[in-house]
Amino acid sequence: MKKYLILLFSFLLLACGKAKNSDIPIVNLILDTDMGPDYDDVGAMTLMYALADSGQVNILATLSSNKDEQAIPCIEVINEYFKRSNIPVGAPKNIAPSLTTWHKESKWTDYLPSHFKHKTHKTSDAPDAVQVYRQILSQQQDTSVTICTIGFFSNLKYLLESQPDQYSPLNGTELVRQKVKLLVSMAGEFPTGGGEFNIKCDVPAAKKVVETWPGRIIFSGFEIGKDILTGKEVAQMSVKNSPIKDAYQMSLSQDNPEGRNSWDQTAVLVAIKGYKPYFKIKLGTIQINDTTGTNQWIDDTAGKHAYLIKEMPEPEIAAIIENYMKHQPLKK
């Protein structure tokens, strides 16, 4: 218990933006989110900004894999709130899912753009996500970029299929191989899954990416975030004019007041902090059924894929994530 309290205290300092460790390498991150169907994306972006404000991550872009017209406005609301309005955004221009929240009463996806500052009127006005990917990747050092996808694989499929352009003479697969160090994905269920949401919403894209991605992929499966409940303390914060608090407050009241599953937060946490000490990994290869979207796993110590296995007790991970999610913008 003493060891855990010391660990948690150090995380609380980081979550508050008060601790910086120059020995920790800065992660260059592109976040690809399906902002809209669920509000764990809001928590995941807040966790990301808590770590950015403590100097642990350099956010290169925040992209939407969701074509719903409120997705990019909601992403920009959070970027603006954390004083990062200059971070590039992008959205799919080809076939991709378009989904909004399931809530029937107050909808956070409508509330946030109507009450908080953002630049882009609707998602279809945003730049092409693939062009943003290609431009950003071409400007980075080799094997220096981590991509974290907490939504559909649509953008990544089109990136792999992209051709040389004004940004790079490399095709998409070559560009990823040269520039990307790691892909972390909230997707699947392990060792077998019956059709996890992020896969099932665009099965062809998921199958294309897992079969042809030229580097390592770490999966945070459905089972990882399912029992890590967060957001209750966020909804009870005393701060005013917070899109993070508002999204959780209006959503938890229609869902589970004790907290929402932390699927996306676990992926972002691992993308930036690494999987230790929270999780272990199992190496192998994921296989996706192109008809049903179900997934199977083949153990292989030489495999390019890995999935997370819980190491730290769920309440302890939840406490760490919750405190990152309570992070407030730094004062200029």
Identify residue 179 by its one-letter amino acid code: K
- Domain presence at residue 40: yes
- Domain presence at residue 7: no
Instruction: Please report which confidence band the pLDDT of residue 20 belongs to, taking 50, 70 and 90 as the band edges.
Output: low
Contact 147, 32 (CB under 8 A): yes
- Domain presence at residue 174: yes
Q: What is the pLDDT of residue 57?
A: 98
Residue-wise pLDDT for 29-55, tens only, equals 999 999 999 999 999 999 999 999 999
Peptide bond into 113 cis (omega under 30): no
Q: What is the pLDDT of residue 12?
A: 40
- DSSP class of residue 329 equals P
Average of per-residue pLDDT values in the chain: 93
- Domain presence at residue 241: yes
- Domain presence at residue 54: yes
Contact 134, 165 (CB under 8 A): yes
pLDDT at residue 19 greater than cutoff 80: no
- Domain presence at residue 8: no
User: Exposed/middle/buried for 21, CB within 10 Å: 0-12, 13-18, 19+?
Assistant: exposed
**Mean pLDDT (whole number) for 135-147:** 98
Residue-wise pLDDT for 274-308, tens only, equals 999 999 999 999 999 999 999 999 999 999 999 99
- Domain presence at residue 2: no
Sign of the CA dihedral running 26, 15, 133, 135? negative
**Looking at the 3D structure of the chain, how many domains does it have?**
1
Helix or strand (DSSP H, E) at 230: strand 229-230
Nearest to 267 by CA among 165, 185, 171, 202: 185
pTM summary value: 0.93
User: Between 2-15 and 40-53, two packed helices, what is the crossing angle to 10 degrees?
Assistant: 90
User: Exposed/middle/buried for 29, CB within 10 Å: 0-12, 13-18, 19+?
Assistant: buried
**Mean pLDDT (whole number) for 21-36:** 88
Instruction: Please report which confidence band the pLDDT of residue 22 belongs to, taking 50, 70 and 90 as the band edges.
Output: low
Residue-wise pLDDT for 4-15, tens only, equals 343 444 434 333
Own/partner pairs, 18-24, CB within 8 angstroms, 24+ separation: 18/54, 19/54, 20/54, 20/55, 21/55, 21/56, 22/55, 24/55, 24/56
Domain that holds residue 277: 26-325
Share of the chain above pLDDT 70, in %: 93
Question: In this structure, what CATH number is given to the domain that contains residue 212?
Answer: 3.90.245.10
Instruction: Please report which confidence band the pLDDT of residue 105 belongs to, taking 50, 70 and 90 as the band edges.
Output: confident
- DSSP class of residue 227 equals T
- Domain presence at residue 19: no
Residue-wise pLDDT for 50-89, tens only, equals 999 999 999 999 999 999 999 999 999 999 999 999 999 9
